[in-house]
Amino acid sequence: MSLLVTGSIGIDTVRTPYGVSEECLGGSAIYFSMAASFFNPVRFVGVIGADCPYELSEVFAGRDVDLAGLEVRPQSKTFRWTGTYHEDMDERTTDRLELNVLAEAPPKVPVSFRDSKFVFLANTAPLLQLELLEQIREPVFVAADTMNCWIQEHTDDLKKLLKKIDCLIINEDEARLLACEQNLIKASQMILDMGPDEVVVKKGGSGSLLCSSDGEKFLLPAFPADDVKDPTGAGDSFAGGFMGYLAQKGKANFEILRTAVAYGTVTASFTINDFSLKGLTSINKSDIDDRLEALREMTRF
Amino acid sequence: MSLLVTGSIGIDTVRTPYGVSEECLGGSAIYFSMAASFFNPVRFVGVIGADCPYELSEVFAGRDVDLAGLEVRPQSKTFRWTGTYHEDMDERTTDRLELNVLAEAPPKVPVSFRDSKFVFLANTAPLLQLELLEQIREPVFVAADTMNCWIQEHTDDLKKLLKKIDCLIINEDEARLLACEQNLIKASQMILDMGPDEVVVKKGGSGSLLCSSDGEKFLLPAFPADDVKDPTGAGDSFAGGFMGYLAQKGKANFEILRTAVAYGTVTASFTINDFSLKGLTSINKSDIDDRLEALREMTRF
């Protein structure tokens, strides 16, 4: 079933204890699309400036990613992020952030994309997420990401958004911040009370937690990674695997959501194996399936 | 099969965000025995002073805990610990520590216990753990716990111990410290290279990881707890459920070890539901089995 993503395209410079990757392609929509395209065709909505050194049609060559929603603004500059990961790879510092084109009006959803059924609204201002979502006629399942600054400074907008989406995908610290509650199980329930039917809490190297408004819970450890080079894009790759699998199945009951979380987990585990997109571009779907089965074997009892 | 524990008996004063528990009974051997006794008879080895306000035969009344290894030293004082848990219940501060009788010679293993097959050496100086272990004739499966101060200041003794045990049960920060490696998967492998066939890494609210020298891995999330009052004793209750189940089965192949980790996890989840031993004394084995099945359901995909 159709799957649409709205999110950022960025030029990233990343330092980790394992090396430096300069001016590489990143951004939420990029990682999401690369990950989701293993499962389902992707409709891409995002905006860059004239300075972007990457040709996205080449980046996604051979993958079913429809770039009709890519807007290039000749007078603008592409979003740029420079960050450093520390020894504990679950923690990072933003060294430099240039919003550039992301500080302007968001791109429009092309008319041909407005019948999309599965929608992922990557992290941005909740008001923009709402504006983008309003352009989709009858979505079946909408998931969104958010972050600290929106939780703290755009709370009302975020709460409006939460009433319109089916699933919030959020980091554990953000979940605690949003719910004003330290206990993650209680925090998840409080987020469900704000609107969405599902909340996925990502805990980095500690796995993830899916809670449903009907009381069901699913807990999954992270795939055991002994070769983490660059965690950039892990969260958006998780969302890509998760939403890609749901769109492929065409529905999102709890049984399917469990497997979607597992696919999100293993897809993200490839992302962090290498810098930038290399972890995802060097594999195929059978590698993901093999790792899913390995994770299943390592978690059964 | 016979199960022996050597460990501490303490008088604990614990502060958590949910209340204060003063002068309650604690200590590794106490929590371990209470937890393990749901699964298998326990042989208890520990030492107290004349000041201990608790009668252990009453504490364990109705449970199959053999106190023949309890030594009461009339001239000594019982171990005391005062600690505070913070908002993140995985972190605690020791406010006051009075080793008292624990700073003296360790208790002897009674002759009637020296044929024990399953042995848990709770946290103490590795030299004492070695001394206690030498008194056991032909153990089948020996597990030990340790902590930061022994890793840092008694490294050589600890490395001797690691060559003599089958399984190290350790916190994630301690595993990193022992292996001098931040990545937990790599750290676990490095600990296995030091001697034991199995290492169990406890990650508090993030679950646990079992790694085997033959390359097998088992990952389990923590039981989702929305009612954590006092984490004291969680680690020793985990060890009690884990070792109690292994002793009940009489062997420790990887299939059995998986289930043992799961039983350790759910047993500990009851401990943290209430202060001191109340979380364990208020339940029966069927509560533990019910929670095991709930955890199985919440982790399958």
What would the pLDDT profile of B8-33 be if each residue is shown by its tens digit? Answer: 999 999 999 889 999 999 999 999 99
Q: How far is B255 from chain A (nearest CA, A)?
A: 7
List chain A residues with CB under 8 Å of B203. 206
Verify whether the Cβ–Cβ distance A226 to B261 is below 8 Å. Answer: no
Kindly tell me if the per-residue pLDDT of B90 is higher than 80: no
Nearest CA in chain A to B217: A298
Write out the residues of chain A at the interface with chain B, using a CB-CB cutoff of 8 A.
87-89, 182-186, 189, 203, 205-207, 209, 217-221, 224-226, 228, 258-259, 261-262, 295-296, 298-301
pLDDT given for residue A88 in this prediction: 78
Which two structure tokens, joined as six digits, stand for A138?
Answer: 């009858």
Residue B180's pLDDT band (boundaries 50, 70, 90)? very high
How far CA B110 is from CA of B4, B10, B42, B69, B117, in Å, comes to 11, 21, 14, 6, 14
CA-angle at A92, arms to A89 and A93, nearest 5°: 155
Query: What is the per-residue pLDDT for A226?
Result: 85
Structure tokens at A287: 């590698």
Residues 6+ apart with CB under 8 A from B73: B47, B48, B49, B50, B101, B104
- Please give the pLDDT value at position A278: 96
Exposed / middle / buried, residue A96 (Cβ in 10 Å: 0-12, 13-18, 19+): exposed
**Minimal C-alpha gap between A7 and chain B (Å):** 29
B85 forms bridges with which residues in the sheet? Answer: B92
Contacts of B229 (CB under 8 A, 6+ apart): B16, B18, B19, B272, B273, B274, B275, B279
Nearest residue on chain B to A203, alpha-carbon basis: B206
Across the interface, of B186, B228, B262, the residue whose CB is closest to A183 is B228
The arithmetic mean of pLDDT across residues B265-294, rounded, is 97
The percentage of chain B sitting over the pLDDT mark of 90, rounded to a whole number, equals 94
Could you tell me the mean pLDDT of each successive run of 10 residues in chain A, 301 residues long? Answer: 97 93 96 98 97 96 98 96 87 91 94 98 95 97 96 96 98 97 95 98 95 97 91 96 98 97 98 95 98 98 96
How would you label A12-32 residue by residue, b for 16+ Cβ within 10 Å and e otherwise? Answer: bbbbbeeeebeebbbbbbbbb
Residue of A nearest to B176 (CA): A88
Q: What is the mean pLDDT of chain B?
A: 96
**Averaged pLDDT for residues B255-263:** 98
ipTM value, please give it: 0.91
- Position B58 scores a pLDDT of 97
Give me the total of CB pairs closer than 8 Å, taking one residue from chain A and one from chain B: 81
Tell me the C-alpha distance between B22 and B12, whole Å.
7
Query: For the segment B141-171, what is each residue's pLDDT rounded down to a tens digit?
Result: 999 999 999 999 999 999 999 999 999 999 9
User: What does the alpha-carbon distance between residue B113 and residue B111 come to, in Å, rounded to a whole number?
Assistant: 5
Smallest CA–CA separation between B180 and chain A, in Å? 12
Confidence at residue B225, expressed as pLDDT on a 0 to 100 scale: 86
Over range B172-200, report the average pLDDT. 96
Distance from CA of B122 to the nearest CA of A (A): 26
B24-27 contacts at long range (C-beta below 8 A, 24 or more positions apart): B24/B275, B24/B276, B24/B277, B25/B54, B25/B59, B25/B276, B25/B277, B26/B81, B26/B232, B26/B233, B26/B276, B26/B277, B27/B79
Q: What is the pTM of this model?
A: 0.93
- What are the backbone angles phi and psi of residue A176, rounded to the nearest 5°? -65, -40
Answer whether B257's CB lies under 8 Å from B265's CB.
no
User: What pLDDT score was predicted for residue A207?
Assistant: 96
| Nearest-by-CA chain B residue for A256 | B301
Nearest residue, CB atoms, A185 vs list B207, B225, B259? B225
Q: What pLDDT was estimated at residue B87? A: 81
- pLDDT of amino acid B91: 81
